[in-house]
Structure 1
Amino acid sequence: MKDGRLRVVDVAATAGISTQQVRNYLDEGVLPPVERTPSGYRVFTVAHVRALAVLRRMAEGHGWARTREVMLAVHRGDLAAALTALDAGHAELDRERTEIRRVLGAFETVVVSPPVVVPAPRRGARIGEVADLVGVRTSQLRLWEERGLLRPAREPGTSYRLYDAAELRAAQVVALLRRGGYPFEIVTAVLDEMRTSGRPQRVHAELARREQDLHRRSLRRLRASATLYDYLAEIGLAGSGLPG
């Protein structure tokens, strides 16, 4: 380093990336602009090292697409745009957390108060039989089928709907959750998970694991946002244009 100047190789070494990647970041605008020497060489400083560290921490917490959006806004001095993008990222996690909790609640209903499992006839149960077993009208079963919740087979020759044991179970789960007031999107999520993962207890455990993973992602995002705030303060953008 000479007179506070750094070579691109020095900047790259601080993050363990290639010099070309540093140039790419610079060309994209996610690093601060550089001055050039009379001969055209880029002049890097410790400010670029700091920005690069922030960039990579942001990418860890927010992903590259949103990080790029935020850092572009920061380096053009548009605090409002940067904050808008940042808030959108945190809101996404909130929506995901709410969805997981709602589905977990639905599974609690299925696990704690499971429907009575009635074996389907060997040939499969017809729609009227299923309606009687589940306690709904046949029109309700048809509606659930239209929404993709149920997938009965068709009897060869007559095309009558036939529900095997799995579809009868699905019909019972749908009826239980709808009586509990769960919207169709939650019912769909529960059925998809059950068809993929098997028993409700296993699915419940998997959703709980996803919730814990979401907590970890939220903490990484929070850490990244805190790093960004410090950077905004360093470059004089924190509070820019705001009262007080």
Structure 2
Amino acid sequence: MKSQTAAHHRPVDLAREHGISTQAVRNYERDGVLPAAERTASGYRVYTGLHAAALRAYLALVPAYGYGLAAEIMRAATRGDVDAALRAVDGGHAQLLRDRETLDAVEATVAVLTSVPTGTRPERPLTVGALAHRIGVTPATLRKWERAGVLAPARDRGSRQRRYDADDVRDAELAHLLRRGGYLLDHIATVIRQVRAAEGPGPLAASLDGWRQRLTARGRAMLVASGRLADYLEAAGL
């Protein structure tokens, strides 16, 4: 790591730049997201321009990648392991891409589901055979979807047979649409969880714009964070 020629900084100087406490700055150093600071003869920490660059990078990484991954990236960077830092960055970008694909899948199917008349939903729970016949798959396929987390039917207390209610039927129809579109089961399971969390495709459709806006904000934050991380790596001579 090359020596820093910039003026020295006190912990309060770094804290004021970002509106955080001096204790937070010390905690970041303790946790390894900032390089270890030198001490004066009286024991006071002395930070440099390198520490300021590291703090800017870390605080930019947090909204882009979350606290855990941001800390992983900076710990790797402060110990000089650039490959590990960039590998963690790549993982964050890959996750964002998966999230975008999930959103695309939901947008491509939720309009179809919301256009299905509610009267077509079964009034009584269906057996695995009845549901399989309804959507044109085999009972074995439905059981496979269940193992993958796509479906979660209740069981009859006496016979222990699967019973698919109206929400289960909706989830199975959505899964069938996505499978025909070439999506993998783990991807479909993620979509189904989004539908369940929104309590149906109708409320989910209303939330899609907000979901996309959050993904866009994350992507933009990643661009800012990449610049701050690059600044730190350059300052550290890495």
For the structure 1 residues 106 and 38, does the alpha-carbon distance in structure 2 shift closer, same or farther, using more than 3 Å as the test?
same
Report the Cα offset of residue 5 of structure 1.
3.7
| Aligned partners of 2:9 and 2:49 also within 8 Å | yes
Aligned residue number for residue 207 of structure 2? 206
1:68-87 alignment, distance < 5 Å: 68-87=71-90
Q: Percent identity?
A: 39
Q: Which residue of 2 aligns with 1:35?
A: 38
1:93 Cα deviation after fit: 1.1
Greater relative contact order, per chain length (Cα 8 Å cut-off, separation 6+): 2
Residues 49-70 of structure 1: CA deviation (Å, up to 9, x unaligned): 3432232222232222222222
- Paired residue type of 1:53: R
- Asked if 2 retains the 8 angstrom alpha-carbon contact of 1:131 and 1:137, the reply is yes
Structure 1 unaligned residues grouped into runs of 5+: 238-244
Q: How many residues are matched? A: 232
For 1:82 and 1:133, locate their aligned partners in 2 and report how far apart those are by CA, in whole Å. Answer: 50
1:220 is displaced (CA, Å) by: 0.6
Q: If you compute each CA radius of gyration, which structure gives the higher value, 1 or 2?
A: 1
Runs of 4+ in 1 over 6 A off after TM superposition: none
Give the superposed CA RMSD: 3.5
Q: What aligned pairs does 1:155-166 form with structure 2 within 5 A after superposition?
A: 163-166=164-167
Tell me, which stretches of 5 or more residues in structure 2 are unaligned?
A: 1-5
Specify the code of the residue in structure 2 equivalent to 1:215.
T
Q: Report the TM-score, using the length of structure 1 for normalisation.
A: 0.72
Preserved CA contact (<8 Å) 1:127 1:162: yes
- What is the identity, as a one-letter code, of the residue corresponding to 2:208? L
Which residue is equivalent to 1:219? Answer: 220
Question: Once the two structures are superposed, what CA deviation does each residue of 1:10-59 show, in whole Å capped at 9, x if it has no partner?
Answer: 33333333222222222333223333333333323344334322322222
- Any conservation in 1 of the 2:40–2:46 contact (CA below 8 Å)? yes
For residue 73 of structure 1, give the secondary structure of its aligned residue in structure 2.
helix
Distance 1:66 1:199 in 2: 32
Aligned partner of 1:83: which letter? L
Match of 1:56 in 2: 59
Structure 2 length normalisation: TM-score?
A: 0.74
Name which of 46, 65, 68 aligns with 2:68. Answer: 65
2:120 to 118, 121, 132: 118
- Shifted more, 15-24 versus 134-143: the winner is 134-143
Residues 164-243 of structure 1 aligned to structure 2 (within 5 Å): 164-237=165-238
Question: Cα 1:152–1:235, aligned 2, differ >3 Å: closer, same or farther?
Answer: closer
Partner of 1:151: 153
| Counterpart AA for 1:211 | R
